[in-house]
Amino acid sequence: MERQVRFSEEVIEKIGHYVYRLIDPRNGNTFYVGRGQGNRVFFHAAGEQKPSGSEDSASLKLDRIRDITNSDFEVEHIIHRHGMSESTAQEVEAALIDAYPGLTNIQPGYDKGRGQMHAKEIIRSYGAPEAKFKHDLILINVRKSIEQQDLYDATRCSWKVSLRRAKLAKYALAVTTGLIRGAFEIENWLPDDGKNFAGIDREGFGPRKGRFGFEGRPANEEIKKLYVHKRVPDEYRPKGAANPIRYVGC
């Protein structure tokens, strides 16, 4: 089995108070919601989180965890929200506990940088080396659509952009949870008019007036080595930002 992950001291300092979910990998069900700091999210599966106060073994789901590990699986850890004050974490935890028994649909928040992330995404996002931007770039947050289609198609259409600034960008970088996942050389920008980008899934939307996409190709290996799997600098990740587009040097 894979060795249990842990947050480094650097990651712990950056994520602060968080709310987490424990998931049974055999069926994808969330079976525990909690809050904490440091490596508390991992304590349950490691047997380090003991009942205290009003908690008991049932509330900590220890029997469920033993059953998962005895079946040669690992508990999945999801950091549902991080970077909060303790009081805010309490509110989020309470809301999730109330919501999960009958929850059928989860609406994503606007804060894409600190929203729901797998524990390993947290490590990759905050532990990756910071990118040093040396070109005119457009950064495109593709977190929602990357799960549904090819990364190139998810990155290239369709967006509300400043066409003047977008045309100055030489490369488009696909970003999810602050980590650069792909780099593409931009050849030209086209309006999303129903003919361009035919066949690309727009998450349930048809052509969207006033939006644009680009045609291009994967960036060369030198550019990929420079940017892909690097972390977007904090100055390009303002907290609470809803706009998926960021410009560098444009």
In the chain, what are the domains? 9-126 (no CATH), 128-248 (3.10.590)
Percent of the chain with pLDDT over 90: 40
Using one digit for the tens of pLDDT, what is the confidence trace for 186-201? Answer: 999 999 887 888 777 6
- Answer whether the bond into residue 54 is a cis peptide, omega within 30°: no
At 53 the pLDDT is 40
- Going by pLDDT thresholds of 50, 70 and 90, the confidence category of residue 63 is confident
Which has the minimum average pLDDT: 55-64, 184-193, 232-241?
Answer: 55-64
C-alpha closest to that of 26 among 63, 73, 66: 73
| Measured distance CA(72)–CA(25) in Å, rounded | 11
- Going by pLDDT thresholds of 50, 70 and 90, the confidence category of residue 26 is confident
At 116 the pLDDT is 58
Q: Is the pLDDT of residue 84 over 80?
A: yes
Q: Is the pLDDT of residue 56 over 70?
A: no
What pTM does this model have? 0.56
